[in-house]
Amino acid sequence: MTTAGKGLAVMVWIHGGAFITGAGSSLAPMVPATALTNIYNGCTLSTFHNVMVASLNYRLGPLGFATFEDENGRAGNFGMKDQRQALVWLQNELPAFGGEPAKVTIFGESAGGESMFYHMASPLSKGLFRGAISESGFPAAHDWSYRQELTRSFASKLQCNDKASLRECLRTKDVNSAWQKASIGNTSNALLAADWGPVVDGVDMPETPAKIFYDGRSHSVPFMAGSNTNEANLMVWPLYELGMNKSQFKGFVQKIADDYRRHNSMITLNAAEIEKVDAKYPASTG
């Protein structure tokens, strides 16, 4: 979508959905995709703020975030590479649409917000944007060994068990049947069941994004990060439709802390810190 003019600033939207659902046009993790359409329409931004708006799609779930090791080394983060390739395409093609390649701002929500931290930290994304905005994202990437375990567990459900030929075996499988086996865990909430996403591969993501930020080695461009109001409702309501009691709430906070530790070993919460969370955000029911 464009407005009249040349050299327009460009905003590039990267959608959320826990790296397993969603699209550049809509995000409907709990209902049929046809129920929510065009909710990421950029016409308002384009019309009232005189910017060009672009969105993109990227591979999700195991298609985008399975990991492999062979004679050529490690391979993974395919979904993030898709995002980057879209940004590269825009750098080459924006002038033909009236956009200015030097005025690209990337922005996204949830997994899209996490993607902002990724590109801010990845050396291979340098120079593709002049600023980034993260809505309800955080700097995280799985440990390689954990993701390898996850990939092999997924592959075994499709009768692919030989580590040396894992990728070749998976390529022979039907995508629809593979997707049905992509969720991890026993929950019916697809977002909570999923555990796909960025991984520390040593090249595309050399270290955990949090460490890169902590050391001051992220890209030197303006970066705005925050959380959307009531963002976490999507993670809580499907499991606790009638609400939580205090014990369930404390258990839920502990699970979130434990899950986050898998994403980022730098940041953990001990028992005393969990108590501080409980005191700061007390449950409202008995």
- Parse the chain into domains and list their residue ranges: 8-143+196-230, 240-286
In the numeric block, the tokens 């969105």 are attached to 55
Structure confidence at residue 175 (pLDDT): 85
pTM of the shown model: 0.83
Token code pair at residue 151:
């990939």
Question: Which residues are within 8 A (CB) of 88 and not within 5 positions of it... i.e. 6 or more apart?
Answer: 128
Helix axes 111-121, 78-97, angle to 10 degrees: 80
Q: Would you state the pLDDT for residue 98?
A: 93
Position 130 scores a pLDDT of 97
In tens digits, what is the pLDDT along the chain, a chain of 286 residues? 444 557 899 999 999 988 988 888 764 444 455 555 667 888 888 889 989 999 999 999 899 999 999 777 899 999 999 999 999 999 999 999 999 999 999 999 999 999 999 999 999 999 999 999 999 998 989 999 989 998 998 899 889 999 888 999 999 998 887 777 766 554 444 444 568 999 999 999 999 999 999 999 999 999 999 988 877 777 777 677 777 888 888 777 777 777 666 555 555 677 788 788 888 877 765 4
Q: Which CATH superfamily is domain 8-143+196-230 in?
A: Alpha/Beta hydrolase fold, catalytic domain (3.40.50.1820)
Residue 189: predicted pLDDT: 46
Q: Which residues pair with 199 in a beta bridge?
A: 142
Q: What is the length of the chain?
A: 286
